[in-house]
Amino acid sequence: MREIKVGILGFGTVGSGTVKILQDNADAISARIGAEIVVSRVAVRDLTKPRDVSLHAPTLTTNPQDITDDPDIEIVAELIGGVEPARTLVERAIANGKNIVTANKEMVAKVGHDLRIAAQSSGKDFFMEASVAGGIPIIATLGESLAGNQVREIAGIVNGTTNYILTKMTQEGAAFEKVLSEAQSLGYAEAEPSSDVDGYDAQYKIAILASLAFGSRVNVEDVQVEGIRHISPRDIVVAKELGYRIKLIATAQGSPNGMRVRVNPTLLPLKHPLATVDGVFNGVFVRGDAVGDLTLIGRGAGSLPTGSAVVGDIIHCARNIVAGATGRVPYMASHDLPMLPAASSWSKFYARVRVLDRPKALAAIATIFGDHDVSIESVIQRAMPDEEAEIVWVTHEVREQDVHAALATIHALPVVRSVDTALRVME
Amino acid sequence: MREIKVGILGFGTVGSGTVKILQDNADAISARIGAEIVVSRVAVRDLTKPRDVSLHAPTLTTNPQDITDDPDIEIVAELIGGVEPARTLVERAIANGKNIVTANKEMVAKVGHDLRIAAQSSGKDFFMEASVAGGIPIIATLGESLAGNQVREIAGIVNGTTNYILTKMTQEGAAFEKVLSEAQSLGYAEAEPSSDVDGYDAQYKIAILASLAFGSRVNVEDVQVEGIRHISPRDIVVAKELGYRIKLIATAQGSPNGMRVRVNPTLLPLKHPLATVDGVFNGVFVRGDAVGDLTLIGRGAGSLPTGSAVVGDIIHCARNIVAGATGRVPYMASHDLPMLPAASSWSKFYARVRVLDRPKALAAIATIFGDHDVSIESVIQRAMPDEEAEIVWVTHEVREQDVHAALATIHALPVVRSVDTALRVME
């Protein structure tokens, strides 16, 4: 049986999962391709580090160019992460005629366009299923199964750490900081958690999905991002009472006029298929003009689930190699759709305001909302300790800038103690 | 730009959706392939029938051989349904070197093996995404994205009619017959509903999924099937109280020893990702050794959602044609795994028994369960009118044949009025 040699850059969580799957399911994978996958070289930083997965010693190298420059290697799996040195190595591998499989969301989001053009020019594959939502096949679904659709909207829970934290806060009523430190001790959150809890990880992922869904370049810095540090247990309780769950949602909406791509903590009605995606699970909702609503739910991280996506891409690429058909799917980001300003977008909003419990506070706030064309769907006022009251507003679909202008004016009212939170609400 | 000619057999719901998508999204689809899809011929039974989608008159023909035998047509989309004449036409098209796209669950389930072997022998594609679960890309996911996995288990809600009926029964407490006739008047159920409500439609679909997941032939007749006619509003209410929803679940479990493939109304705990898949939506849950748990939810029927799957397959095939790579995925049903007997399978069970309200009924039934090694997780006894009592049992994981033997003995007890229902319970 024909052999196809794979070189792997990086042997951390994803790299070891990838090698384990290729070893454990070797026979089935060979049959499914009609060729044998051989991991011929793995580039690591430290040859002596103990590892879960055993490889023949000569397979390991500390020199990544042993992979990018090896004429026998046909597929390079880049599993290092971060822009450099990954980008330079991938560029070099493409220049040397390799097909690329990558799990690197940051590299794909920031410089994927140029890399994909380069791969396309040399007639090679550039696959990146593992860069978004771990084992969930959202990239293949967008690029292949839904290729007959115009995608209108994507909404995703694409960061497991924040979903775990919000789920725990919902189940236990605990504060963000407490759950974060628990998550850190369990290994579900990094010691430096900003990339997750401030939404940057989700920002990369939704930039990638938007570029695929709308066939356009997306500048990561233009993706508005809001994290979950300001979500309080009180917000979660109030949202629950109203029939909602709070999730960190990455959304992309597209039309011929432009795109809106953003990451925000959002209230989802319990009926929404993402509302019950809990814990470290990820979920991606897609609305297409033909398929309608489609939701994919699965494990968004971890050695084997992410390795499953990498191995799926390696098999896809190997089948193309056997058929002489690498590069068979044209790279599509041919448009440069403008990013529409968030301020002009429409959404329902939830706002929680604390006031001195004076009879006129409700009327004063309602008047300001009215003056700003913010129409109200529901209001709940409740007495709180210290002669305060809490007023929770849910608006109809309104313009985002109108809500923010109204809340700024409301914040300045003497009867208002604080505007605790303002969050988007999804239908 | 290169043209790829498609011939369509059948111009009903799916055929017209397919043509509409190909027309509406023609520019995007051409760009995504690097070639233009031209629907050159559509075979219909009646040329004069008014249709939603307009085609140039010469495109229509009543002679399907104008398609199977046309040397310019490269892809034949079979959208007729049923085994004959579809099978004979597909065989003829394959013999003439065509690639096949089909939405025909019955044909694929019954004779798909031979057709796929024939397509493979001539190096052509045989795609069938639309044959299972409409717009949900479960077949591509199993065959491509999860190709690195050993699939352990599939569980699906793959019939929209029964899911609509069970959802309505759950929401409204109405009886099966009443909801069925409503569904018939709304067009969600056929005048002859047996194929849906007795589970045969689901039987075809799970046979197809099992054959793909386990790489084995599956004889449709060996798939045990149980419909939903015997589900009463009372079962639904009691299941709800216990924290479950009743769904018609098609399952397939595989191991090197064999497969279990079956269709049963099943109690799902609310936490299960399929428990909240309601109305006409379908959902498929897959457990793989690497990816873990993956769930896909979407529209399982309808002109555009099913058309989306057909067009996805046409695009997939057209990309292969452009790359000279049709037949690039080897056909895999190389095994002939035995079908393991249902009787020896293990599951939790729910049973609802009506008894004369005598103090000893509970003990007598419990003793019989115990004698048959059926251990009980929970029991609820309630007084009913006419001096009867209802006893609801949920078992631990037990052998199916033990439950059935116990229930037969219980049924013969003088204090037992009826064994109303016995259903499987999923974890």
Question: In the prediction, which pLDDT does A133 show?
Answer: 97
A213/B contact by beta carbon, under 8 A: no
At residue B332 the predicted structure's pLDDT band, cuts being 50, 70 and 90, is confident
Is B333 domain-assigned?
Answer: no
Residues B90, B36 share a domain: yes
pLDDT tens column, B58-114:
799 999 999 999 999 999 999 999 999 999 999 999 999 999 999 999 999 999 999
Is B242 domain-assigned?
Answer: yes
Question: In the prediction, which pLDDT does B359 show?
Answer: 78
In total, the C-beta contacts within 8 angstroms joining chain A to chain B are 211
pLDDT tens column, B295-323:
999 999 999 999 999 999 999 999 999 99
Question: In the prediction, which pLDDT does B214 show?
Answer: 95
Q: How far is B290 from chain A (nearest CA, A)?
A: 5
Whether B148 and A308 lie within 8 Å, measured CB to CB: yes
Is B336 domain-assigned?
Answer: no
* Residue A88: C-alpha distances to residues A64, A84, A107, B20, B78 (Å): 11, 7, 10, 45, 48
Length reported for chain A = 427
- Whichever domain contains B417, its CATH number is 3.30.70.260
* pTM, two decimal places: 0.96
- Report, as an integer, the average pLDDT of A300-305: 96
Q: Which long-range contacts (CB under 8 A, 24 or more apart) does A372-377 make?
A: A372/A402, A372/A403, A372/A405, A372/A406, A372/A409, A373/A398, A373/A399, A373/A402, A374/A349, A374/A398, A374/A402, A374/A403, A374/A406, A377/A348
Residues B294, B151 share a domain: yes
Cβ atoms of B191 and B248 within 8 Å: the answer is no
Burial group, residue A23, by CB count within 10 angstroms (0-12, 13-18, 19+): middle
Whether A387 shows a pLDDT value over 90: the answer reads no
Q: How far is A352 from chain B (nearest CA, A)?
A: 30
Average pLDDT, chain A: 95
Catalytic residue among B168, B205, B247, B348: B205
- Whichever domain contains A211, its CATH number is 3.30.360.10
B297/A contact by beta carbon, under 8 A: yes
Question: In the prediction, which pLDDT does A40 show?
Answer: 95
Question: In the prediction, which pLDDT does B218 show?
Answer: 95
**Lowest model confidence (mean pLDDT) among A188-192, A357-361, B312-316:** A357-361
At residue A225 the predicted structure's pLDDT band, cuts being 50, 70 and 90, is very high
Cβ atoms of B195 and B158 within 8 Å: the answer is no
Chain A contact set for B324 (CB, 8 A) = 323-325
pLDDT tens column, A396-427:
999 999 999 999 999 999 999 999 999 999 98
Chain B contact set for A294 (CB, 8 A) = 135-137, 296-299
A304/B contact by beta carbon, under 8 A: yes
- Report, as an integer, the average pLDDT of A362-370: 95
- Report, as an integer, the average pLDDT of A179-205: 95
B279/A contact by beta carbon, under 8 A: no
Both tokens of B301, joined, read 């029927």
B247 counts as catalytic: no
Restricting to B residues 47-106, those with a Cβ less than 8 Å away from any Cβ of A are none
Q: How far apart are CA B287 and CA A86, in angstroms?
A: 32
3 state SS of B257: coil
Residues B294, B150 share a domain: yes
- Report, as an integer, the average pLDDT of B118-129: 97
Whether A357 shows a pLDDT value over 80: the answer reads no
Whether A361 shows a pLDDT value over 80: the answer reads yes
Question: In the prediction, which pLDDT does B357 show?
Answer: 76
Is A397 domain-assigned?
Answer: yes
Whether A57 shows a pLDDT value over 70: the answer reads no
Residues A124, A9 share a domain: yes
Cβ atoms of B77 and B22 within 8 Å: the answer is no
Residues A143, A292 share a domain: yes
Whether B57 shows a pLDDT value over 70: the answer reads no
pLDDT tens column, A314-341:
999 999 999 999 999 988 777 789 999 8
Chain A contact set for B309 (CB, 8 A) = 145, 291
Whether A52 shows a pLDDT value over 90: the answer reads no
Residues B295, B168 share a domain: yes
Domain that holds residue B379: 342-425
At residue A43 the predicted structure's pLDDT band, cuts being 50, 70 and 90, is very high
pLDDT tens column, B153-190:
999 999 999 999 999 999 999 999 999 999 999 988 99
3 state SS of B225: strand
Average pLDDT, chain B: 95
Residues A217, A268 share a domain: yes
Question: In the prediction, which pLDDT does B387 show?
Answer: 87
Is A335 domain-assigned?
Answer: no
Q: Point out the domain boundary residue: B299, B333, B352.
A: B299
Q: How far apart are CA B284 and CA B306, in angstroms?
A: 16
Residues A272, A172 share a domain: yes
Residues B349, B286 share a domain: no
Q: How far is B282 from chain A (nearest CA, A)?
A: 10
Whether B294 and A298 lie within 8 Å, measured CB to CB: yes
Residues A244, A266 share a domain: yes
Whether B124 shows a pLDDT value over 70: the answer reads yes
- Whichever domain contains A78, its CATH number is 3.40.50.720
Is A255 domain-assigned?
Answer: yes
Residues A366, A318 share a domain: no
Chain B contact set for A314 (CB, 8 A) = 148
Given A31, A309, A312, which is nearest B332 (Cβ)?
Answer: A31
Residues B115, B192 share a domain: no
Is B45 domain-assigned?
Answer: yes
- Report, as an integer, the average pLDDT of A132-142: 97
What total of structural domains would you count in chain B? 3
Is B335 domain-assigned?
Answer: no
